[in-house]
Amino acid sequence: MDHATLFSLALDASRASYSPYSSFRVGAALLCEDGSVFTGANVENRSFGLTVCAERSAVSAAVSAGKRSFVGIVVATPDADYPVSPCGACRQVLSEFLPPEAPVVFGSSAGALVATTMGELFPHDALHELKEAPSPKR
């Protein structure tokens, strides 16, 4: 599936955003290895630390449906004047499921997209190093 189609799905998802405090809608479209797509929207809370970002919402929906292999994500931020990248918490969660070569695309409109990879967005991912390290003997 191409980035334009996924951006359209992410933009549609942003319309379901619950963002009464920031008025900043975000939608995400997560592409699974089997070709299925899961979307998510940001859900704010007045205790701002409890807010769930669109990217993590999409990951949660996919994992809840039994999916574990993802090949890319597109994020739409229609209320921004420029492309806004995933936050640090989302980068960490995405790195759990996306390989370093997976495309990560984000933008405020179809004409203003930034295309990168998970590895470029989160270059020093200790998680994958931990997965590859031998288990300590006890």
Q: Which of 88, 94, 85 is nearest to 62 (CA)?
A: 94
Asked if the model's pLDDT at residue 138 lies above 60, the reply is: no
Locate 43 and state its tokens.
Answer: 């859900």
Asked if the model's pLDDT at residue 19 lies above 60, the reply is: yes
Locate 96 and state its tokens.
Answer: 């759990």
Answer for the pair 2, 30: CB distance below 8 angstroms, yes or no: no
d(CA 25, CA 11): 9
Which residue of the set 44, 55, 129, 132 is catalytic? 55
| Alpha-carbon torsion (84, 24, 124, 58), positive or negative | negative
135: confidence class by pLDDT, cuts 50, 70, 90: low
Amino acid letter, residue 128: H
* Domain assignments of the chain as residue spans, ordered by start: 3-132
Pairing of strands 37-41, 27-32: antiparallel
Residue 55 among the catalytic residues: yes
81: confidence class by pLDDT, cuts 50, 70, 90: very high
Res 106: pLDDT? 98
Give residue-wise pLDDT tens across range 24-60: 999 999 999 999 999 999 999 999 889 999 999 999 9
Q: What is the arithmetic mean of pLDDT over 111-137?
A: 79
CATH for 3-132?
3.40.140.10
Res 132: pLDDT? 61
Res 74: pLDDT? 98
> How much is the pTM?
0.90
